[in-house]
């Protein structure tokens, strides 16, 4: 994850991200912006926010059985992608796996398999070395019966997973289906040779297993890639312009060309004169010829401008998924990145035991819980409360509502019993309390009645003036300035709600 800071006075960036108040924390993922709305900033809450901001289900498929895994792996020839499988007992995959999956999603298809599948009988032998407790990643290429790489135990670190994904983005024998694949096979500004198989697609399919063995040997010994490029009219037709001098599309043969990439748009081609049809294929001779070329200088080469490469990887994406993505992009732009709309949205927390314990913990944020006491969600005071707090944008304040008829009045009775001077008070509906959790006192907007006989004057509004002629907004300003009117000290905060 890349991180950056910027000043809110950089108006262009602030407007683009939809930021109006500070401090603000947001995640930019897949071109979409997500804002952190939690009042408490902690490592755990930020991690959870980042996790929720990532479209995990969009990029990581959840499998249920070993047959599901086989079905996924068998698509390698169609998708031209490597498969990464996380075996875990967790329902949500770790970010160590999610982040590299997202970064290399164009080349690596990630999936999640519950560790309970390991209890299934008749699994392949490589599953025996996989733990049912700790996370394990399996990386598959062309061989669906055996993973090329297993990442587990001490090797299961963020840096190691990232490095392995980065160096294993393509199959042993990839097909040039996009500029992304071509850039990985034939690297820019590299003296290292790469090799292209061109010619009849049916003939390539016939000899693909032999080429696969050849490609593994070539990379293992010389760190060079070999890939197939189909220059027919329905594939990478732009290459016909430079390949026509070596091969005609109507010929039923294959040949191998050596390529070096001197710059972003310039390639150098060496004709190895390795040609064969369905009857003439000698893997040993081909490997020796390629080795000679790698170890010696090139001769009689030609330089060409790199043709444009059609992106078939993007074309092969599911149409329904692309439509959903377009809708979500528009929604994110108009709603999540609209600072004014977000500014008007106020999050009201459930008032319960977990909320209080969260801010009672040592090291918790020193916040004020603004609590409205109401009878039901339909009360007019609830609507007034929500309207008033829209004008309050401060990370020091958390908003909540206690519904007496739904949640009972046990907590309020406990609060009354914990008041230091032992005075007996009752809280009427529409009362707003400012709870100072760390400092163990609260302040009421409306005057609190000590006499039970005076509790009949129940107002159903919070807007307007209290008996002290103080408007609600002015009262909030006093709270932020530290000017408290009639603070009520308590011995401890009750956590009993039922």
Of 68, 78, 57, 136, nearest in space to 324 by CA: 57
b or e along 361-372 (b: 16 or more beta carbons within 10 Å of the residue's beta carbon)?
eeeebebbbbbb
pLDDT in tens, 342-367: 555 567 778 888 888 888 888 777 78
Q: What is the pLDDT of residue 452?
A: 47
Residue pair 73/167 in contact (Cβ under 8 Å)? The answer is: no
d(CA 192, CA 225): 9
| pLDDT band with cut points at 50, 70 and 90 for residue 282 | low
DSSP assignment string, 6-51: --TT-HHHHHHHT--SSS--EEEETTEEEE---SS--HHHHHHHHH
Instruction: For residue 7, give every residue at least 6 positions away whose Cβ sits within 8 Å of its Cβ, in sequence order, or none.
Output: none
Kindly tell me if the per-residue pLDDT of 466 is higher than 80.
no
What is the enclosing helix (H) or strand (E) of 134? Answer: none
Please return the burial class of 452, using the count of CB atoms within 10 Å of its CB with bins 0-12, 13-18 and 19+: exposed
User: What is the token pair recorded at 52?
Assistant: 């929720």
Q: What is the pLDDT of residue 493?
A: 92
Of 420, 421, 426, 489, nearest in space to 452 by CA: 426
Decide which of 460 and 275 is more confident: 275
d(CA 277, CA 365): 74
Decide which of 161 and 124 is more confident: 161
| pLDDT band with cut points at 50, 70 and 90 for residue 453 | very low
**Alpha carbon 155 to its chain's center:** 22
Domains along the chain? 11-53 (no CATH), 56-167 (3.40.30.10), 179-310 (3.40.30), 346-489 (3.40.30.10)
Percentage of the chain beyond pLDDT 90 is 28
Of 208, 254, 265, nearest in space to 231 by CA: 254
DSSP assignment string, 160-208: HHHHHHHHT-S-SS-B--SHHHHHHHS-TTEEEEEEEEEE-HHHHHHTH
With 0.75 as the threshold, say if the pTM is over it: no
Alpha helices (H) along 74-119? 76-79, 95-103
pLDDT in tens, 407-420: 767 888 888 889 98
């Amino acid at each position: 994850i890349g991180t950056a800071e910027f000043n809110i006075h950089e108006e262009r960036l602030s407007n683009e991200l939809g930021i109006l108040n500070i401090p603000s924390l947001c995640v930019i993922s897949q071109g979409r912006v997500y804002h952190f709305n939690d009042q408490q900033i902690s490592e755990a809450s930020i991690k959870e926010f980042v996790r929720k901001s990532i479209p995990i289900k969009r990029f990581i498929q959840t499998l249920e059985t070993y047959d599901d895994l086989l079905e996924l792996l068998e698509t390698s020839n169609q998708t031209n992608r490597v498969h990464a499988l996380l075996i875990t007992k967790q329902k949500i995959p770790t970010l160590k796996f999610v982040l590299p999956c997202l970064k290399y999603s164009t080349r690596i298809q990630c999936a999640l398999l519950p560790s309970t599948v390991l209890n299934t009988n008749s699994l392949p032998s490589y599953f025996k070395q996989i733990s049912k407790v700790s996370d394990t990643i399996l990386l598959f290429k062309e061989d669906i019966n055996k993973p090329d790489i297993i990442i587990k135990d001490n090797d299961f670190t963020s840096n190691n997973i990232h490095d392995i994904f980065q160096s294993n983005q393509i199959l042993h024998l990839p097909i040039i289906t996009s500029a992304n694949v071509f850039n990985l096979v034939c690297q820019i500004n590299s003296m290292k040779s790469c090799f292209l198989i061109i010619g009849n697609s049916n003939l390539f399919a016939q000899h693909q297993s032999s080429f696969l063995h050849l490609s593994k040997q070539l990379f293992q010994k010389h760190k060079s890639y070999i890939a197939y490029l189909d220059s027919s009219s329905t594939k990478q037709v732009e290459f016909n312009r430079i390949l026509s001098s070596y091969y005609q599309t109507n010929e039923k043969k294959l040949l191998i060309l050596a390529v070096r990439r001197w710059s972003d748009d310039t390639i150098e081609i060496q004709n190895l004169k390795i040609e064969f049809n369905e009857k003439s294929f000698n893997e040993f001779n081909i490997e020796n010829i390629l080795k000679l070329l790698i170890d010696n200088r090139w001769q009689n080469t030609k330089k060409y401008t790199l043709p444009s490469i059609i992106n078939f990887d993007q074309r092969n994406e599911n149409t329904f998924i692309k439509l959903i993505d377009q809708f979500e992009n528009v929604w994110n732009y108009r709603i999540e990145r609209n600072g004014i709309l977000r500014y008007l949205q106020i999050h009201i927390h459930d008032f319960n035991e977990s909320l209080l314990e969260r801010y009672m913990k040592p090291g918790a944020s020193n916040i004020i819980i603004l609590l409205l006491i109401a009878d039901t969600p339909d009360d007019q005071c609830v609507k007034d409360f929500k309207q008033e707090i829209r004008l309050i944008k401060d990370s020091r304040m958390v908003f909540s509502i206690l519904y007496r008829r739904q949640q009972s009045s046990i907590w309020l009775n406990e609060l009354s019993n914990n008041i230091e001077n032992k005075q007996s008070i009752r809280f009427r509906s529409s009362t707003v309390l400012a709870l100072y959790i760390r400092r163990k006192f609260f302040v009421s907007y409306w005057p609190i009645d000590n006499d039970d006989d005076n509790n009949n004057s129940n107002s159903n509004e919070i807007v307007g003036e209290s008996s002290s002629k103080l408007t609600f907004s002015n009262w909030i300003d006093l709270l932020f300035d530290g000017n408290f009117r009639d603070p009520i000290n308590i011995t401890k905060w009750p956590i009993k709600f039922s």
